[in-house]
Chain A
Amino acid sequence: MRQDLLEQLEKVRSLVRTHGNPLREVYLDLENSGLVFEEALAALHEAYRIHGNPSITHRPGWRALEVMLEAELGLMDLIGAGGGEVVFTHSGTEANNLAIMGLAKASRGRRKIIVSQIEHLSVKFPAERLQEHGFKLVEIPVDEEGFIDLDHLADQVDDNTLMVSIAAVNHEIGVVQDLRAIAEVVKDKSPEAIIHTDACDALGRIPLDLEHAGIDMASFSGHKIFAPKGVGALYVREDVKLEPILHGQLSSQRLWPGAENIPAIAGFTRALEIFGKNFDEYRSRMRRLRDMLIDGIFERVDDVVLNGPRGDRRAPDNVNMSFLYCEGEALTVELSLRGVYVSSGSACTSRTLEPSHVLLAIRRPYEVAHGSILMKVSPMHDEKDIEYVLEQMPEAVKRLRAISPKVVM
């Protein structure tokens, strides 16, 4: 066992050496791991000196509790929350699992769970698992841009509906759903049904006014707003009953046991402040870089398809394009050798040999899904970064297309 581990370690070290250090690097794989604001990192460092656990009755404990309450307040303000609480987890995945499994555990009667066909796997998988416990799962289809079918949703909501979970902004194709319209449809059919939204990709990208939109629960992820990694959050409106899904020593939170990541939570608060203060400027900056990237690729590369909508109906940071006759995973490696870091919805990257369920749901053929590349821009990128990507992308695509057998699709 130890020998295997050592071999694996040597292999990955050698892989990094073989790859070498590109002279210039542009990191656009913000879907899988975010950048971090320097100020948020500084806040994390500072909070590491507090030491305390927020549930213990001494000064360091109260200082830690202060950090948590500041974060809760900061988040509630930025998302337009009404009455309720914020549960801090260690990732967006954990927040989504708590929302779905926790609500199901607390449910006395209602047995139907409704999600869209394009939800993040941390929503899709727990919802699927609940079928083994007597719950019925309904997946609402989307159109070719990714917008959910509201009529279909209205048909499905009934007095057996426990929850509806639809992401405000899709993580892969950036489609911005009309949360308010969704909530109206749901509450009109069944006022008791709980509405959850995975808002990990919405925070800082679109204005959120959850109370006004009629949302009961929302999940957030620290790294997606460039806070330190290791913090997620679930907003739970008052009167929504959840059961914990992990068990252990309760610290300051009834719904999530274990030691809270106080330093990362302090960094999260700082990142929230930065996004809050610069909201409009960041949005227009990201939108400018996004469109520069999309338009630039269309100008320089043939046989390319944009996945998801354009303009204001698309998240300001999201670029997802399919390069036909080019396999996505190979393209991520080719771009990596050129210092451009992106991810793909190709089957090869999925570990299951199935391409992205999101791209299949918007009815992209397999060969288009296999050639998809996901990139996200941030306020920390500039025009020069995008220019570099626009220099490298056509070369990378050209090389792979030259290798590919010549067939007409």
Chain B
Amino acid sequence: MSSRIPLPYSPKVLELFRNPKNLGRMDDANAVATAGSLACGDMITIYLKIDDRAERIIDASFESYGCAANIATASLLTEIIKGKSLREAWNISWKQLSDELGGLPPIKYHCGVLAVGALRRAIRAYYRGRAKPDWLPDELTPDEKHALEEEELMKILAKRIGEDGRNSH
């Protein structure tokens, strides 16, 4: 294997960063979720407008705080899920997003994981208070857990920095 550090961006990532699709808050969304945090350096909010009867996504949009790969991933994901049933959307993997972006390098995998994590959180939010379908697992999936772990880790690190700061005075 080459020891060279892979190029973090593909032309497709740059293009979607420049002209993202489905950008911005959606006021009439019926499912919303955020994954990540400012402290992580990555945060994605996904807005879904869902046809209740068909359990199908009519419209999707996002807001993102993160690198260009993060913005590109969220743009791609919201484009893919439009028109899909919630079940189909649930099964989209971060690997699929990475492949469509021309292959994210390992250092950017978490961008895909975070986008998928936010989507799944939004789908879970939608079913809260509704009859949960059979295909929706009770347990968190690895991608959801990963997003959660990243958030938790940053909380701990951020707290440690705060404590160091206090100790020095």
Q: How far is the CB of B76 from chain A (nearest CB, A)?
A: 15
Is B140 an interface residue, CB under 8 A from the partner? no
The A interface is mostly helix, strand or loop, or mixed, namely helix
Q: Give a binary string over A309-328; 1 marks a CB under 8 Å from any B CB, 0 the rest.
A: 00000000000000001110
B157 / chain A contacts, CB cutoff of 8 Å:
366
Among A8-16, A32-40, A55-63, A217-225, the one that faces the other chain is A8-16
Q: Mark A351-376, 1 if CB is under 8 A from B, else 0.
A: 10101000010010111001000000
Is the CB of B3 closer than 8 A to any CB of chain A? no
Main secondary structure of the interface of B (DSSP, over half): mixed
B11 and A143: CB pair below 8 A? Answer: no
Give the distance in Å from the alpha carbon of A28 to the alpha carbon of B140 in the complex: 45
- Complex Cα–Cα for A117 and B5 (A): 26
Contact yes or no, B63 A329, CB < 8 A: no
A348's partner among B14, B18, B34, B41 (CB-CB below 8 A) is B41
Interface string of B92-106 (1 = CB under 8 A from A): 000000000010000
Q: Which of B119-127, B129-137, B161-169 contacts A (4 or more CB under 8 A)?
A: B161-169
Q: Is B107's beta carbon under 8 Å from chain A? A: yes
> Which residues of B from 77 to 101 have beta carbons under 8 Å from A?
none
Categorize the interface residue count of chain B: 35 or more
Contact residues on A (Cβ < 8 Å of other chain), bracket:
35 or more
Complexed CA–CA distance, A107 and B10 (Å): 48
Q: In the complex, A314→B5 CA distance in Å?
A: 33
A14 close to B64 (CB less than 8 A):
no
Q: Which B residues lie within 8 Å of A17 (CB)?
A: 11
Let me know if A284 is at the binding interface, CB within 8 A. Answer: no
Of the candidate stretches A91-99, A172-180, A398-406, the one touching chain B is A398-406
Task: List the A side residues contacting B40 at CB < 8 Å.
Answer: 366
A11 touches B102 (CB 8 A): yes
Report chain A residues within 8 Å CB of B164. 363
Residue from B10, B63, B67, B162 in contact with A404 in the complex, judged by beta carbons closer than 8 Å:
B63
Q: Which of A4, A15, A348, A365 contacts B66 (CB 8 A)?
A: A348
Contacts of A14 in B (CB 8 A): 11
Q: Is B6 an interface residue (CB 8 A)?
A: yes
Interface membership of B29, Cβ < 8 A: no
Q: List 14 A-B contacts (CB under 8 A).
A: A4-B2, A15-B10, A18-B15, A330-B68, A333-B67, A346-B41, A351-B5, A353-B110, A363-B161, A365-B39, A366-B41, A367-B37, A405-B44, A409-B38
Closest 6 CB pairs of A and B: A367-B38, A370-B41, A348-B67, A329-B67, A405-B45, A18-B11
Residues on A facing B (Cβ under 8 Å): 1, 4-5, 8, 11-12, 14-15, 17-19, 141, 143, 325-327, 329-330, 333-334, 337, 346-348, 351, 353, 355, 360, 363, 365-367, 370, 403-407, 409
